[in-house]
Amino acid sequence: MPERTPYVAGNWKMWGSQAEARDLVAAIAPRVPAPAEVETAVCAPFTALATALEAAQGTDLAVLAQNMHQAQGGAFTGEVSAPMLTELGVQGVVLGHSERRQFFGETDRALQEKVPAALEAGLRPILCVGETEEENEAGETQRKLRQQVQEDLNGLAPQHLAEVVIAYEPIWAIGTGKTATAEQAQEACAFVRALVGDKSKEAAAAVRILYGGSVKPANAAGLMAQEDIDGALVGGASLEAESFLAIVEAAKGG
C-alpha cells in the first residue's frame, strides 16, 4: 500500500488584506515541516495570492486559490482561469467548497470540467464534498457523497485520480463548532475512498482524503489518527498561526 503523506490546508475564505496575508504567511511558512512529512498549504483570496506567494518563497508552504473557472480564457467577466493562477506561481485550488455550491451556484457539471482543467494547468485540486444537516439526519450522507464524487470526478482518467485531494466536509460542521466525531468522519472518508476504488483500486490506495469542519488543535489529532483521514481542510483555525501550526503538528502522528 502506498504511504500517504499527510496534508493540511488552511482556507482563509474572504479574509485577508495584503498586509494581513503577508504577516500570517511570515508567521507560518518558516515553521512548516518538510513536505515529505506533512504537506501544508494556505488558500488565499485572489487579491492576496501574489503577496502570500512572495512571503512563502523559499519555504515549503504552498499557496492555493479558492476557486477558478474551467475555461482557459474567454468572455467570462469576473472569473479567473487555471493558467492565470499557475502564471502567478499558485500550486493548487480548492474546488466545490460548500460555500461556492450554496451561495454561488457551483454545480457538479462545472466541477466535472474544473477538476481536469486544474490538473492540466499544473494545479493540485482539493475537491470538497459533503452533506447538509438535513441530508445527514435523513440518512442520505452516502447518497450525496456518491453523487458528488462520481459526477465531479467523471471527467478524469483513472491514472489522474490520485492527483486530486478530496476533502470530506459535512456542511453542518463548517464554521459551526460542531465537529463530526472521529468515527463519523472515518466512516464517511472510508466511503469516499471506496467510491474512488470503484474507478481505480490503485488510486483509492493513494488518494489523500481530508476531513474539514471545525477542526481545531484540540480535535485534530483524533480525527487525523483515523485510517482513512489523511489530513485536514481548516477554516477558522487557519487564521491564527499558532492554531494552524498546532494542527499541522497533529498531522505528523496521523
Q: From CA 250, how far away is CA 154, in angstroms rounded?
A: 33
**What is the number of the residue whose Cβ is closest to ligand PEP?**
235
Give the nearer residue to ligand PEP in terms of CB position, either 153 or 174: 174
Give the nearer residue to ligand PEP in terms of CB position, either 189 or 203: 189
Q: From CA 215, how far away is CA 244, in angstroms rounded?
A: 10
Non-local CB neighbours of 110 within 8 Å, separated by 6+ positions: 70
Give the nearer residue to ligand PEP in terms of CB position, either 60 or 169: 169
Give the nearer residue to ligand PEP in terms of CB position, either 10 or 116: 10
CB of 102: closest distance to ligand PEP in angstroms? 12
Cβ pair 67, 14 in contact under 8 A: no
Instruction: Kindly state the cell numbers that stand for 197.
Output: 476504488
CB of 175: closest distance to ligand PEP in angstroms? 4
Which residues are annotated as catalytic? 97, 169
CB of 239: closest distance to ligand PEP in angstroms? 9
Q: From CA 60, how far away is CA 41, in angstroms rounded?
A: 9
Contact residues for ligand PEP (CB under 6 A)?
A: 11, 13, 169, 174-175, 212-215, 233-237
Alpha-carbon torsion, ordered 238, 235, 21, 242, to 10 deg: -10
CB of 227: closest distance to ligand PEP in angstroms? 21
